[in-house]
Amino acid sequence: MMQSLAKAIAAGLFAVVLASGAASKPLISAEAWNAYKENFLDTSGRIIDTGNGNISHSEGQGYGLLLAYYADSPPDFEQIWSFTRTELLVRDDGLAVWRWDPSKRPHVTDINNATDGDILIAYALALAGARWNRDDYTAAASRIATALASKAVVAHGERLLLLPAVTGFAAADRPDGPVINPSYYIFEAFPLLAQLAPQADWTKLSGDGLALVEKMQFGPRQLPTDWVSLAGEMRPADGFPGEYGYNALRIPLYLARAGNPAPALVQRLRKQTTGPEDSLQLMTFDDAGPGTLLTDPGYRFINHLVACVAEAKPIPEDLRQFRPTLYYPSTLHLLGLAYAAEKHPGCL
Amino acid sequence: MRFAYIAISAALLASAYLLGGMNRTSDSWTPGNAMTGTGVQQAAASFDRMTTGSTGVAPKTDRTADEVEIAQVTVGQPAPVTPPTRPKVDESALRYFARKGDTARLQAEISRLRALYPDWTPPEDPMAIPVNADRELERMWQLYSESRYAEVRKAIADRELAESGWTPPADLLDRLSVAEARAQLTNASDLNQYDTVVRIGAETPSLLTCSEVDVLWRVAEAFARTERPGRARDAYLYVLNNCNVPSERLATVQKASTLLPATMVEDLLARERPGPDGTMEFDAIRDDLARNLVAEGDNDATITVPPQYLGRVERLVESGGSASDALLLGWYYLRRNDMAAAETWFRKARGIEDSASASQGLALTLIDRKEPKEAEEVMYRWRDGSKDAQQTYFAATANLLAISPPLPLTEEVLARIASETISGRDAQTAQQFGWYARELKQHKTAADWFTTALSWKPDDEPSAYGLALSRNELNDETGVAEIQRQWADRSERIARLGETEPQEEKATREKEAAAVARPAVRTAPAAVETAPRAATSRTTQGAVRQRGCSFTVDPRSLSPAVALARGWCLMDMNRPLEAARAFEVALAAPGVKEREDAAYGQSLAYLRAGLTSKAAVSAARAPQGTERIVELQSAILRDRAVASFNAGRNRDTILILDQLSQLGTEQQDLMVLKGYAYLNLNRFIDARRIFQALAEAGNREGAKGLVEVRRAQFKGNQN
């Protein structure tokens, strides 16, 4: 009975034909990937957040797996996955603990998860499992997706929401709950998650999420903040810096990578966050100051990518080459480059 | 589906039984498949393969506890196992460990292969096994032996890409999966993720063998902590039925005894084996177990301790046991109102070694059987030990004075009771002094005591009544009127004083004498008990509940002997700083032995509080026995070594550890510290020597340390 059910599901999957791109050469060059590894990958398989006390987290492991996949490197994928599995995937519900600190014993001091990290890990596993015929990866992806469906996807009124973590953000957990993080919506992953864990309505979650992000217009420049309360009227969540910050700056990148489902939103974000000399300008909601200017190539790449996708403006020469700086902007840079290489090679 | 284990040995079957049915699916995957295309479409296709089972990976959903249980039942049936064809046994790991001279791992590998392949015969001289000819494989085994599993994974995948047609030995893949599963299970267990622990155990039967007893313990604990004690017991039973290392067997029962109900622990104890010297292997544990059970019974009167455990502790006392064992029994029986038995054991305890606890227990039983005189004598010495001891003492004194007709008491006894009553401001005893004096027609004295009692407890109606009676005897009409005014609304008998005929008044007085201790049951006036009994039962309960050193007392008010006992009691309660203060007082004891104890206790207290330098000072305050000197110095040096290492003082760390090794207590964890101290000083040769020795002793930190040395050297060369 189990098998016939599975067959029925599988038959449905064939109907969903999604993006494909036969890669003759890797989307991330060997040179760029080697530079990334040298700077951010420990031999233990741990991606090191060099801007953050050299800790590791589920997000970093997820990014590492995804980048290894784009670099067509099963060995590196194996290495990163080994660490991810043995050190982070220990929670009873099948999700990953979010933070791993080399200076603490045990290395994990908070067993909560981070939903974006789980999504990235499941997404990378599903992609790699398919390309490299690794059923164990696919099975692991399915396990994480199933746990996400039951623990992180919740109904709130008419909407489906993605909770940033299993603990601490729901309506019952805090007075301004539910609180969401718009940059945890990794839209490109939702179609795959829908196939891995069909018990949740990922299509609705994706659509609801997009509608929410479009409505998040706070502060002087009408931008989303990193953390948003949905308790009543949508507003920046309590207890977090009310800013379009290091979390939110990924939103246009993720939207572009997801096939640009909301072009107007993405262009608005680009306009409102382009600072002097193509820097990326953050925004503080409260004091309405000018906002921090980020000049790291990885950050600057985001608005250029968005501009190229919309208006075919070529990306400046100096940003086409990957130069590692810190973990986070370097990761975003490679994700952007991989996307441009696959879908908009003319931008490069 | 390709099972990694074709032949399942009896041991593995047993472990499968232990954890329930499992599909072993960490299967080999064919490397070097053409990487055609990318992305989501393929992902979709691969789910199809997966879910239709054509490649046999069952969807791993969260298996609930119940499903594991059910699966267990089915697997529990004797499963038809295909008779194994003679398997080809992969001995490459064996060869690697043999060449490295790693006998511990070699033996573990031999027993693992034996469990897997019952027909396999290990080579007669494993050390003579030829070296692996394959260098790259050799390197993979080396990484494996250094617990660098992610790097092994990478090395395998690298080689598969580079060398088409090469497949890793099944043994390496298998061991790697098991090692990763072990790491994952251990991490989950450290974070109390018990479902994960059980799940990984179920998926990895080869972790559930005697060579992985730590994993078995963790799995057992996971069952116990998720309210599956039966499964936990089975896991512990597995160890006792199959594993032979004596220390691990002992530890198994010890761990089980903290997690399982007593009846299940009995099941485990039944697997006891006789030792070579004829003693039974769990004897020591049985004693501790019995003590723990009786101690639990001391704290909770609803627990019934099985007679064999009570009997065991009783026999321990009879055969020259300790006062503490006798005390356990005394309090156990006292909690259950078996006063005669309690008295017996408290007396035995005092016979071995007098203590506040033993005296208090005995005093309570004596008060109960209306022997307050002896109770007072017994408690007098210990009255200051704690708030609780003082309450017991005053229960004795109040009851003693309340006896009618009054007992003749010596001047000395009366004087000391009076003195204690004043300093302890005990209104109850003061009141009883009043009635006692009144019985002896010392009305002036009686009036003074009643007044005193009222000054401490202004709402004490019996004292007010006693005072009124006494003033009446002394013809102090103004005084009587004053009391009558004060108590006008509150006491009918005070108001009516003087109205009655002399004859009736005498009757009233006699009645009053019987009611002297009534205040203790003021809240329950319906209780028709004799006065002393009423006073006792209330105090008894209070005393039992609060015995020990839970009350805060300024130790400077205590005698050195009492302070010493209190110090140890506070140590038991893990209140080291208060204990240190109590020991400070005890250091003034006249006896050499007591002072030594006090200095020793204070040292331990400071050590526990993390105040190493103070501990060192304390240790020097009284001469200590050799053994204690070594113990204290080791502990002090150890703390200092860790502190100086953490502070980055690597040279000091090494010096301290050298001192420590001269005491003959060079423990492995400290050697690790020393290794890292050397490493931090870039003394690679010394660091390597230490880690090498540790690694040879089978210590994992040793292997890790060697890796660190190599890394550091490599970095050094680069710079």
- pLDDT (tens digit, 9 = 90+) per residue, B390-447? 888 998 999 899 887 888 888 888 888 988 898 888 998 999 999 988 888 888 889 9
B93 vs B426, more confident: B426
Question: What pLDDT, on the 0 to 100 scale, is given for residue B566?
Answer: 85
Residues 6+ apart with CB under 8 A from B299: none
Cross-chain residue pair B187–A93, CB shorter than 8 Å: no
pLDDT higher than 80, residue B703: yes
Bridge-based pairing state of the strands A280-281 and A293-294: antiparallel
Min distance A13 CA to chain B CA atoms (Å):
6
B25, B27, B150 member nearest A44 (Cβ): B150
End-to-end CA distance of chain A: 51
Crossing angle between the packed helical segments B576-586 and B592-608, to the nearest 10 degrees: 160
Give the model's pLDDT for residue B716.
56
Nearest CA in chain B to A82: B150
Query: In chain A, which residue's Cα lies nearest the Cα of B711?
Result: A43
- pLDDT, mean over chain B: 76
Q: What is the pLDDT of residues A176-215, one digit of tens each?
A: 989 999 999 999 999 999 999 999 999 999 999 999 999 9
Which positions 75-134 of A are in contact with B (Cβ < 8 Å)?
Answer: 75-83, 85-87, 89-94, 97, 106, 108, 111, 126-127, 129-134
**Lowest-confidence segment of A330-339, B19-28, B477-486 by average pLDDT:** B19-28
Residue A319 has a CB neighbour count (10 Å cut-off) of: 21
Q: Which of A122-136, B43-57, B319-333 has the lowest mean pLDDT?
A: B43-57
Q: Can you tell me the distance from the alpha carbon of B488 to that of A163, in angstroms, rounded to the nearest whole number?
A: 70
Provide the shortest C-alpha distance from residue B157 to chain A (in Å): 5
* Interface probe, candidates A4, A28, A97, A133, chain B, greatest B C-beta count within 10 A: A133
Q: Which two tokens stand for residue A206?
A: 């994706």
CB count in 10 Å sphere of residue B676: 20
For residues B357-367, average pLDDT: 91
Please report the residues numbered 40 through 79 in chain B whose beta carbons come closer than 8 angstroms to any beta carbon of chain A: 40-53, 55, 57-62
Q: Find the DSSP H helices in A84-134.
A: 115-131
Top-confidence range, B462-476, B518-532, B696-710: B462-476
Interface test with A, best of B153, B173, B200, B215 (most A CBs within 10 A): B153
Beta bridge partners of A281: A293
The alpha-carbon gap from B205 to the nearest alpha carbon of chain A, in Å, equals 17
Residue A3 distance to chain B (closest CA, Å): 6
pLDDT for residue B114: 80
The C-alpha of B224 sits at a distance from chain A's nearest C-alpha, in angstroms, of 16
For residues A230 and A179, the answer to whether their CB atoms sit within 8 Å is yes
Clarify whether A311 is annotated catalytic. no
A23, closest residue in chain B (CA to CA): B37
Rounded CA separation A62/A70 (Å):
12
Per-residue pLDDT band at B160 (split at 50, 70, 90): very high
The confidence score (pLDDT) of residue B261 equals: 87
- The two structure tokens encoding residue B524: 């329950």
Comparing C-alpha atoms, which of A124, A290, A155 is closest to residue A221?
A: A290
Which residues have CB under 8 Å from A341's CB, separation 6+?
A: A27, A28, A348
Q: Which of residues 385-414 of B touch A (CB under 8 A)?
A: none
B327-348: average pLDDT: 92
Among A116, A176, A188, A226, which one carries the catalytic annotation?
A116
Q: Convert the pLDDT of each residue in B240-257 to its tens digit.
A: 999 999 889 989 998 998
The verdict on pTM exceeding 0.80 is no
Q: Do B44 and A18 touch (CB under 8 A)?
A: yes
Which amino acid would we find at residue A346? G
Taking only the tens place, the pLDDT of each residue in A263-287 is 999 999 999 999 998 899 988 877 6
Structure tokens that stand for B384 in this block? 């200051």
The verdict on B215 touching A (C-beta cutoff 8 Å) is: no
Is the CB of B43 less than 8 angstroms away from the CB of A147?
no
Percentage of residues of chain B with pLDDT beyond 70: 77
Inter-chain touch A127–B36, beta carbons under 8 Å: no
Q: Which residues of B touch A22 (CB under 8 A)?
A: 36-38
**Backbone torsions φ then ψ of A283, nearest 5 degrees:** -140, 135
Q: What is the pLDDT of residues B593-633, one digit of tens each?
A: 888 888 888 888 887 776 777 777 777 777 777 677 777 77
A81 vs B contacts (CB less than 8 Å):
153
Put simply, the chain B residues between 138 and 157 with a CB less than 8 A from any chain A CB are 148-151, 153-157
Taking the Cβ of residue B614 and every Cβ of chain A, the question of whether any pair is shorter than 8 Å is answered with no
Nearest-Cα residue of chain B relative to residue A144:
B61
Of A332-341, B177-186, B329-338, B619-628, the one with minimum mean pLDDT is B619-628
d(CA B284, CA B113): 35
| Residue numbers of B between 530 and 549 with CB closer than 8 Å to A | none
Nearest CB among A10, A85, A139 relative to B48 is that of: A10
State how far the alpha carbon of B632 is from the alpha carbons of B224, B613, B665, B699, in Å: 37, 12, 12, 26
Strand partners, A283: A244
Going from the C-alpha of A314 to that of each of A301, A307, A317, the distances in angstroms are: 11, 8, 9
Query: Dihedral sign, CA of A315, A316, A320, A325?
Result: negative
Say if residues A170 and A154 touch (Cβ distance below 8 Å): yes
B665-698 residue pLDDT tens: 567 778 888 899 888 888 888 888 888 888 887 7
Whether the pLDDT of residue A8 is over 80: the answer is no
Q: What is the pLDDT of residue B77?
A: 33
Question: In the structure, what pLDDT confidence band is assigned to residue A227 with cuts at 50, 70 and 90?
Answer: very high
Q: Return the structure tokens found at B169.
A: 């030995």
B134 to chain A, minimum CA–CA distance in Å? 20
Catalytic residue status for A59: yes
What confidence score (pLDDT) does residue B666 get?
63
